[in-house]
Structure 1
Amino acid sequence: MVSATRIWTPVDFDADGKQCEWLRLPFSSDLSAYGFVPIPVVCIKNGEGPTALLIAGNHGDEYEGQVALGKLARQTEVHEVQGRLIILPALNFPAVEAGRRVSPLDGGNLNRMFPGDAAGSPTQMIAHYVSDVLLPMADLVIDLHSGGRSLHYLPCALVRPGKTDAETAELIDLINAFGAPITSISDGSGGGGATTLSSVAHKLGVAILTTELGGGATLSREGQRLAEQGLARVLRHYGLLPRTVPVAGSRTRLMKVDGVDAFTYATHKGIFEPAAELGEMVAPGQLAGVIHPIDWPLRPAEPIHFRQSGMVACRRAPSLTLPGDCLFKLMVDAGADSPFRVHRAAATHS
């Protein structure tokens, strides 16, 4: 079993200066026997200081982060940095190039393949390189996501509680610096949470913040502003861009997804007509929408109802649905016993 990464790069991550190159992912195809997949990477280093690993394009159809990191890479000069920025605006480059959530090379959903496999499929190899090579360099990670083709999202940040009080306190520092209007707290137990980039960083004790910035495979102006301004605030706070004067952020509202009933799913094939908007507060039994049949016009539309109360965090973007498609996800306020609330209260009164 091969354990060392097969991905390589001319970038010297220990050298001062601004470097722009590719991670080279070996990939042999019919028309390129000895080829590689190019994954853009920028490293900006100036002296001693923390390392920030900044990622977008984990899913290829999520654009706010890709644009924000591209702008940051172009606009940041070496003399402005104290420490090291490692910027990957298009981590799953095959998916980015195709405008898809998953890679066209192997159907891989990168954010469900961590910690990856050095000898696996192309997407598994990318996950392994991030887990095995990049994360051990990092003091903090920001992984910028949106809803992609299938979802519209309220702009928000997402974090997991730390394994220790000190880690949780550091994460509170990070979310306060980023300044999203809402921060969703999750233990990662739902869905594919055990195989995400966040899960690996969490195990390594590296502070990581993820975002949802928009969706529908479009570019949200609000989400774009949050990405750019939140990055500026974090990099100033950690001393990486000490001369930056960022726009002040929001005092973030701490929320969570409260179990499986927070999700509303389609039960029939048809055209979904939603009855609730992003950010709306809803109640159990309230109409979430109806699914109109497409195969028999006289069949009544199928009503769908919410199973719990909460705020609409995301809503399905495509109108055509199949059984099992997620239509809505709800969030509720984090309880007083949340470690984030307890630690923030302690910091306020100290």
Structure 2
Amino acid sequence: MKSRVSSAIDFNALGVQSDHARVPYSSDISAYGWIPVPMICFNGGNGPTALFTAGTHGDEYEGQVALRKLVQLLSRSRVEGRVIILPALNQPAVAAGRRNSPLDGGNLNRVFPGNADGGPTSMIAHYVATELFPMADLVVDLHSGGSSLDYFTVTLAHPGRDDVEAQAVRRLLDVFAAPYSIITDGSGGGAKSTLYAAAEQCGVPAIATELGSGATLSRDGLTIAEDGLARVLREYGIAPDLEAKQAVPTQFVRFIREGAIFSPCQGLFEPFVTTGEKVSTGQAAGVVHRLDETPSDPVPLTFAAAGTVAYRRFPTLTATGDALFGLFDAQ
């Protein structure tokens, strides 16, 4: 089904064009309105096409800022291929500073490949999957921990459907060169409903990042995003004159499924370790102070496996089932 989202950008025209992906939305105050999702296209002619997105979750800021800075950089640079940039992909969530859209509650990274006749979040996903992926030779979707997680800096990728796709994914991870990289089937997160999983199903090499923690801006995460994007554009011949720092080889690691800890009750989360810290099996991870039983002892949390802390919950207030810790280790 054809997307109902439209744009005035002619992606085949040379030069720089800026407009919106216009997402139809009928509200109480605008019966025939549309949501403006900012988009810019740099087209220098022959060469690969890179699709860069951020703001898939509205409370994750390193990618949003990195892409806005990249727009300014590319405006002064020679572009031989094509770069399509959407720095606020879920614009309603970005404007509200929330992970999910305030319009329909949609988590954009859980609804791919979307639905042309769905709500605004699903329509955005469908537009990306049906209109933008077919033009793209590579995809980078920039995420960070957002309001709920303190995340160690990693890139994530699905493995590809065959050896050729696997090599293309590996090359993209190596060129972006975040400190750590994880090839995953997505079973611990959004499975096949994420942006980078949907790109895999279209045969497009794609990576997603985790660059920071909290609803703020990590300087280190922003730098990693800027350097990684510049390396990608340079090494793929899209913007060959960009200055790019030489990459330190990424280290490939894997999530330890049995290492995840979830809150056993509602309460106040007191962590004993932080992200990037190495932990051992049986080590105390923290406690949860129960809200409903003030005289009771806090509920202890213990690591069931050894590894490195990939993420921990950022807010202190927690509910039953909230993810508190995740681990990875070297492959």
What TM-score, normalized to structure 2?
A: 0.98
Match of 2:153 in 1: 155
User: How far does the alpha carbon of each residue in 1:111-134 deviate from its partner, in whole angstroms, 9 at most, with x for none?
Assistant: 000000000111010000000000
In 2, are the aligned partners of 1:51 and 1:140 still within 8 Å (CA)? yes
- 1:274 alignment partner in structure 2: 271
Alignment of 1:222-301 (within 5 A): 222-259=220-257, 261-301=258-298
Q: Compare 27-36 and 141-150 and name the one that shifted more.
A: 27-36
The equivalent residue for 1:69 is 67
Name the stretch that deviates more: 187-196 or 173-182. Answer: 187-196
Distance 1:241 1:131 in 2: 25
What is the correspondence of 1:41-52 to structure 2 with a 5 Å cutoff? 41-52=39-50
Written as runs of structure 1 = structure 2, the 5 A alignment for 1:90-129 is: 90-129=88-127
Aligned residue among 181, 199, 202 for 1:201: 199
Cα distance between partner residues in 2 of 1:311 and 1:79: 40
Q: Which sits farther off after the overlay, 291-300 or 87-96?
A: 291-300
Question: Are the equivalent residues in 2 in contact too, given 1:236–1:242 (CA < 8 A)?
Answer: yes
Give the SS at the match of 1:133. Answer: helix
Could you tell me whether the CA contact under 8 Å between 1:6 and 1:125 is conserved in 2?
Answer: yes
2:5 aligns with: 7
Tell whether 2:319 aligns with 1:322: yes
Structure with greater helix percent: 1
Give the match for residue 33 of structure 1. 31
Amino acid at match of 1:262: G
Q: Unaligned 5+ residue runs, structure 1? A: 335-350
TM-superposed CA distance for 1:45, in Å, is 0.3
1:127 aligned counterpart, secondary structure: helix
- Is the 8 Å Cα contact of residues 93 and 101 (structure 2) preserved in structure 1? yes
Shift of 1:268: 1.3
Q: What 5-or-longer segments of structure 2 have no aligned partner?
A: none
Q: Determine if the alignment matches structure 1 residue 183 to structure 2 residue 181.
A: yes
4+ aligned runs moved over 4 Å, structure 1: none
Asked if the contact 2:256–2:329 (Cα under 8 Å) also holds between the matched residues in 1, the reply is yes
Partner of 2:134: 136
Percentage of matched positions with identical amino acids:
51
1:318 and 1:306 map into 2 onto residues whose CA distance is 20
Matching residue of 2:219: 221
Alignment partner of 1:81: what SS? coil
Tell whether the 8 Å contact from 2:158 to 2:183 is kept in structure 1 after alignment. yes
Answer whether contact 2:77 2:239 (CA < 8 A) is retained: no
Alignment RMSD, CA only?
1.1
One-letter amino acid matched to 1:88: L
Tell me the distance in 1 between the aligned counterparts of 2:110 and 2:260: 19
**Shift, 1:326, TM fit:** 0.3
- Give CA-to-partner distance per residue, 1:82-102, whole Å, 9 cap, x none: 110000000000000000000
Query: Separation in 2 of the partners of 1:277 and 1:324?
Result: 20
Amino acid in the other structure paired with 2:222: Q
Q: In structure 1, give the amino acid aligned to 2:113.
A: P
Secondary structure of the residue aligned to 1:148 is coil
